[in-house]
Amino acid sequence: MHSIRLALLALAYAGLIAYGSLFPLDPWVHPGVGLLDFLSVPVERLIFTDILLNILVYMPLGLLLVAALRRRLGTLAALVTALLLGTTLSLTMEILQNFLPGRVSSIMDLGTNILGTALGGALAATLHPDTRIGHGLWRWRDDLFRPDTLGNLGLLALGLWGLSQLSPLAPSLDIGNLRQGLAPLALVLSGEQSLDPAHALAYALNLSGLGILAALIARPGTPAKRLFLLAVLAVLALKVVVVSRQLSAEALTGFAAATLILLFLHPLPRRAAATIAAGLILAGFAVSALPGTGDPEALLRNFNWMPFKGYVANIKGLAGIVENLWPFFAIGLLVRLCVPERRGGIFLIGGALLVASLVFAVEWRQQFQPGRYPDITDVLLALMGWLSAWWPAAPRSAPRSKHRVLPARGISGPAITLAFATAALAAVVAFATLVPESKPDSQAAAYPLLPEPDLLPPVDLPGFLSIHPRFPAPSAVDIRRLQTENRRYLEQARKRARGGDGPLETVILMAFIEPGSQDLARLHQRLMALEVSWRGHQQAKPLALAYDWLHDQWQPEQLAELREKLADAGDYLVERIRTERLSAYNVYLYNSPFQALVAVALALYEDDPRGEPIMRFTHDLWKNRVLPVWRQVMGRHGGWHEGGEYVGIGIGQAVHQVPALWRHVTGEDLFRTEPGLCGFLDFLVYRTRPDGTHFRWGDAGHFNRAVPDQAALAIECRHRAAYTPVAPRRPTPQSWPWGPLGDPSLVDERAPERLPWAKHFDGLGLLVARRDWTPETTYVTFKAGDNYWSHSHLDQGAFTIYRGGALAIDSGLYGSGYGGDHHMNYTYQTIAHNTITVTDPADTVPAPAHRRRGNEPRPIANDGGQRRVGSGWGLGPAPIDLDEWMGFRDMYHTGEIRRLVMNDDVVVVAADITAAYTNRDSGTGDFSARTKRVERLWRTFVYDRVDDVIIVYDQVISSRPEFRKRWLLHSQEPPFVSGNRFELEVGPEGREGRQGGRLTGHVILPEHAHLTTLGGPGFEFFVDGKNYDEDGRVQEIARTRRKDAEPGAWRIEVTPLEDSTESLFLVVMLPTDWGRVAQHQVHRIGSGDMPGVAVSTANRSVRWHFARDELSGQAEIVHDNGGSRTTVEW
């Protein structure tokens, strides 16, 4: 019977392996290759974590098979049979994976799976009591612990906890790993980070419960608690050397507390002790699972109903399984120790229902907690743990005389049931109601806050408008224009206002335009009922608007109450912005607590004493924090660093609204003194590609998101090119609280043609150029500047090329989950961009545990790219202002354009991006700074719009010659490589700007270069030995929900054939229309100190020379086959 149970367990485990190997079980497509072809594909690189995962997954299978078959077949035959079955299972899985595009069949996987089966089988054979080793171990085990099934299960529970702490069982004595292993402890001891009491409490509760369990399964006289504490101490010490694990102050604190509890706990009857231990572990689970993360960057997650979806991708999933399994396995065993054997069935079933309900309730609640991951898998694992604890006892059990038993008149079975159920439900209710919801952590202990209002000096606003209304409001001219040109606007507003019951701002508007038309008592009642919450802007803005616009219509007592309510909202906004360190670099500030705060301060100042400190804080934030950051990022020519839609939902609804509101009330006209404000409109125009969508850079999931302030700012700056695409058909207010109604005189479809063909956005280090302003044009971008933390990527030196479609693309997809594996390992990193990587194989320090999430260190793919800086890495909050950015300049400085030459025909940008790869902390074991790999990386980008030629010249000096250098170019379609040339195309789509295009490349340097292509199914986002496609989810999202996404699927890598510290790359690229072959003649010229390339067409020849040790060069342009000559120098 025992062998049959083990065989069934082995069969069930094989089913789990099959599920994980074939996940997500869809789509099934014919592979188009031989099913066994993977056996002949050589393994290019061995990934240690993949090898370890494959071995660990198959070891239990081998162990269970040998344990089940040994009695019937004998040891050797059982080993051979287990090996054959494991091989058959693995081979079957690899063959079936041919039919799943998201899976890659590999001979390495097959070999390591077989090895895992063999090791598991050998372990089972070795540990059998008939062997010398097994006999000694079992004898030692029987001397210390009760020699029965419950004793075995108890030891297994303790072992599972240890495994949960030490997984993935990969030790490393690398100095960087050791530093990371001790980092959280050092941060607490140095005072840079505070101790997390909830984390420490969870350790104390779990260890106390496990310690009592150890005592319950020990023989009388065994110092079980001391042995347990020594074992725990060893496990905690080993965490320092295990990759991705860390020894924390919370773990040591919890261990110390558990030590005191266990050593001074008086002996208890078995059932009482078991009940207390189960309650302790259940409480430990609640402390860990119920509170929120307190992370302002965290997102809400939908409930995952697909079992093991997040557990099958890597070795961290295996660790997650153990972490979720052991608590309820231990609780189930402890309950089993309490109850009479004859009533076990009732407790097994009733407890299973209770456990499933409890964990499901916890997981369901996590849908509403930012940063939590509600998952049905956690429910299933808890249930599996509980059920496994009731494994049937062996026929022979230990002599009862050797163990303590409960007297006959002990606790009754029903009482235990009631106690356990009450404890479980009480834990849920207590923590669900008493533990506060997730609130962003102020991090005041480690990072300074903005000054308190009372500590700031009084403001001086000599032109302040004291009377109301102070805000921009509908003028008589505006109302007449609406009545004559857009009566429908007023009619709809009147209808929607519903006499005072409609949307608040619509009611306020109609009460201002048509006094007496709205029930002000009802409006006042609704305004006073507002509860300021979240970022506060949704309540503060209508309060400020109603107070200001309707100031003369309120009764004195109503006005006084509104003034008090408005002051409360202002205090809330000040505290929210202060304690959460909302940064002038980040979208959170502009969406939209900042605008609300400015409105409250301007409405309340001089009307109420409480308005004074609010204005002090607002004035300091605006003039000393926000404006300096805008000047830094926008420079003289405008722009913003955050990607895609973050421009529209953040800065794009503040860039006009705040300066316009400020000018109207204070008289200070920042539009006249800050050139970056009107320059922002140039950025909006130039970031639009020939197909009408926005260029892809940074975190961007939407490529046509409207910018709310665009039309109003364009009217202010008389910017026809920015106004025309968003001009309203009929007059409507274009900004909050009331903007210009529109200006038809600015509509000019040909306005872009009068703009320069190339634009340098100096604050960003961004160049955008286009051959002309037709949809069929060539459009290029190049970036080399500083990092401003928020929603940007590690892509200094990157370029893109567009002609009839995206040719050289910014690859990857933002939208599969912020902070997910695809985002952090691929899209965010340098590998996804058209720039340079320099790979040190030892650059493997994991990302530190997130400061607020409290998770474990996270291995990140070694892409050979730039230093990991900015949001999402868990390295700290955004710099709160320019001064703080400057204080961390060594981290955030990532490049600069040293020379820029631009004339009617040619633009040349010479950039130093060394700092993107190397700073003073590089090589010290710091995750962010990475290893020291790059001594110099200079990139010169050239676009000659006359001949439509792009040239990229790189000077790279690595710290060691063996560090592999890669020149990268990403594409949507498969590129073709022949010798030192490459070609790629994108087909036509039948819409403007998408007529199809072709790119031909000539690799001039390295002289002996190796050109390879990488991509296609299973390799679209391949880096460091793994394809980060979220099991096909990235492609699915791009296909179904992000129609304009261009995640790409291929890349070209150019590498030198010989190792050297210095490498030069010189590549010429020629964009043409789809199906057309470039007619340019391209050949190498120059010497070693001044390499170059000549590019000739029928009417023009250009000889480009680039200095080897300087960021300089020159071009000799010969017109009309030997006619006039022009020289360009930089």
Question: What single letter denotes the amino acid at residue 356?
Answer: A
Predicted confidence at residue 409, as pLDDT, reads: 35
State how far the alpha carbon of 906 is from the alpha carbons of 536, 1124, 1130, in Å.
50, 16, 12
Q: Which of 335, 337, 338 is nearest to 351 (CA)?
A: 335
Residue 221 burial (CB count, 10 A): 8
Query: What percent of the chain stands above pLDDT 90?
Result: 64
Which two structure tokens, joined as six digits, stand for 685? 């125009």
Burial class (CB in 10 A: 0-12, 13-18, 19+), 408: exposed
Position 372 pLDDT exceeds 90: no
Place of tokens 């660093």: 641
pLDDT at residue 44, as a whole number: 54
Please give the Cα distance from 16 to 781 (Å, whole number): 48
Q: Where are the alpha helices (DSSP H) in 175-314?
A: 175-189, 197-216, 224-238, 249-264, 270-289
What is the chain's percent helix, strand, coil content, to nearest 5? 45, 15, 40
Task: Quote the tokens at residue 6.
Answer: 């083990």
Predicted confidence (pLDDT) at residue 135 exceeds the cutoff of 90 = no
The Cα–Cα gap between 15 and 553 comes to 74
Give the percent of the chain with pLDDT over 70. Answer: 90
The count of other CB atoms within 10 Å of the CB of residue 1127 is 8
The helix (run of H) or strand (run of E) holding residue 916 is helix 914-917
Asked if residue 770 lies in contact with residue 852, where contact means CB atoms within 8 angstroms, the answer is: no
pLDDT at 1080 over 90: yes
- d(Cα 924, Cα 917) in Å, to the nearest integer? 14
pLDDT in tens, 532-551: 998 999 999 999 999 999 99
Mean pLDDT of 864-888: 94
pLDDT at 296 over 80: no
Residue 1093 predicted with pLDDT over 70: yes
Q: pLDDT for 826-852, tens place per residue?
A: 999 999 999 999 999 999 999 987 654
In the Cβ-directed half-sphere of 512, how many Cα atoms lie within 13 Å?
Answer: 26
The runs of H, that is alpha helices, within 435-555 are: 476-485, 487-497, 504-513, 520-528, 537-549
Q: Which two tokens stand for residue 1123?
A: 């006619």
- CB 806, CB 636: distance < 8 Å: no
Distance CA 763, CA 895 (A): 12
pLDDT recorded at residue 988: 95
The DSSP output letter for 547 is: H
What single-letter DSSP state applies at residue 228? H
Amino acid at residue number 154:
G
Structure confidence at residue 1085 as a pLDDT band (50, 70, 90): very high
Question: What single string gives the DSSP state of each residue in 680-738?
Answer: HHHHHHHTB-TTSSBP--SS-S-SS---TTHHHHHHHHT-HHHHGGG--SS----STTT
Listed residue (925, 930, 820, 858) closest to 245, CA to CA: 858
Buried b (16+ CB within 10 A) or exposed e, 332-354: bbbbbbbbeeeebeebbeebbeb
3-class SS letters over 375-389: EHHHHHHHHHHHHHC
Continuous segment of H or E residues that includes residue 648: helix 645-649
- pLDDT tens track for 1001-1029: 999 999 999 999 999 999 999 999 999 99
Give me the pLDDT at residue 420, please.
47
Which residue, chain included where needed, has tokens 């545990």? Answer: 849
C-alpha to C-alpha distance for 14 and 3, rounded to whole angstroms = 16
SS3 labels along 772-841: CCCCCCEEEEEECCCCCCCCCCCCCCCEEEEECCEEECCCCCCCCCCCCHHHHHHHCCHHHCCCEEEECC
Task: Check pLDDT > 70 for residue 293.
Answer: no
Closest CA to 232 of 316, 159, 283, 327: 159
pLDDT at position 497, please? 93
DSSP sequence for 335-393: HHHHS-GGGHHHHHHHHHHHHHHHHHHHHHHGGGSTT---BHHHHHHHHHHHHHTTPPP
pLDDT of 241 above 60:
yes
| DSSP secondary structure, 940-999, as one string | EEEEETTTTEEEEEEEEEESSTTSEEEEEEEESS--EEETTEEEEEE---SSTT-S-EEE
**pLDDT band at 819, cuts 50/70/90?**
confident
Q: What is the largest CA-CA distance in the chain?
A: 114
In this prediction, residue 28 has a pLDDT band, given cuts at 50, 70 and 90, of confident
- Taking only the tens place, the pLDDT of each residue in 403-440 is 333 333 334 444 444 444 444 444 444 444 344 443 33
Helical residues (DSSP H) of 98-174, grouped into ranges: 107-127, 132-144, 149-166
> 199-208, 366-375, 560-569, 1048-1057: which range is least confident on average?
366-375
- The residue that leads in pLDDT, 695 or 816, is 695
Which two structure tokens, joined as six digits, stand for 1086?
Answer: 């120059």
Per-chain mean pLDDT for the chain: 89
What is the model's pLDDT at position 194? Answer: 80
pLDDT > 70? residue 661: yes
> Long-range contact list for 597-601, CB < 8 A, 24+ apart?
597/540, 597/570, 597/573, 597/621, 598/622, 598/658, 598/661, 598/662, 599/471, 599/540, 599/541, 599/544, 599/545, 599/661, 599/737, 600/540, 600/543, 600/544, 600/566, 600/569, 600/570, 600/573, 601/570
**Rounded to two decimals, what is the model's pTM?**
0.68
For residue 258, what are the CA distances in angstroms to 182, 234, 251, 1063? 21, 15, 10, 58
* Domains of the chain: residue spans and CATH: 1-144 (no CATH), 175-391+412-439 (no CATH), 758-1075 (2.70.98.70)
List Cβ neighbours of 460 (8 Å cut-off, separation of 6 or more). none
User: What tens digit of pLDDT does each residue of 573-594 get?
Assistant: 999 999 999 999 999 999 999 9
* CA 8-14-18 angle, 5° bins: 145
